[in-house]
Amino acid sequence: MPFNSTFSIQNSTLLSEHFPPRPRLYRLRRAMIGAGLALIGLALLGQALLLLGGAPLPLLPLIMLFTAILSLPLWIGTCLNPPVSTTAEGLVVRPMFGRPVDVPWTAIAALRPHLLLPADEGLEKMLYGRRAAGPREGVWVIVRGVLPPRFRLVAWIAGLGNVALFGLSAGTHTGYEALIQTLERETGLAIVPASR
């Protein structure tokens, strides 16, 4: 089922919502990622205008490529651990930018351990503050066919190939344990250890 299909579960009965535990930090992160993407977009536009204007800069195409590559971590940040809601028919994934995406339970292909979580408690405290000193648990939800292409960037960076996925973790989602239990119950899948 393509990601822009007319399938809609957003209006069905809401079972639970799992948002970031620190909404102010999430809004700040969203503003910073949005500003970064806007600046990169303006830089690419300016570089394209220079190129089309006939500026004698032979390395300009390479500079444009490098500038576009710099946006990849920001795009990954928009869909790495999105807020989700559960309904009787599936999940509603809310990426940082763009419309919510309906993911029916049947489209979830696998559950894997989250490999991009900080493994060091000191690093986690530095990145997320003292209150983040909790369990470093997480899972990747691998989905068939309903997520936009940018969700493939996360899998590509993690070395999982050409699949679409998003992450859920105890540090980025309220009610994490209940969410994982719902996922396992509704999909009939268990968390499979990743092969590296």
Residue 161, pLDDT score: 85
Residue 34, pLDDT score: 96
Contact call for residues 101 and 148 (beta carbons, < 8 A) = yes
Residue 125, pLDDT score: 66
Residue 1, pLDDT score: 38
CA distance 57 to 66: 15
Residue 190, pLDDT score: 83
Residue 85, pLDDT score: 92
Burial grade of 173 (CB within 10 A; 0-12, 13-18, 19 or more): buried
Burial grade of 118 (CB within 10 A; 0-12, 13-18, 19 or more): middle
Residue 94, pLDDT score: 93
Does the model's pTM come out above 0.85? no
Average pLDDT of adjacent 10-residue blocks, the chain of 196 residues: 47 82 91 96 93 84 92 90 91 91 91 72 62 68 89 84 89 89 88 63
Residue 59, pLDDT score: 86
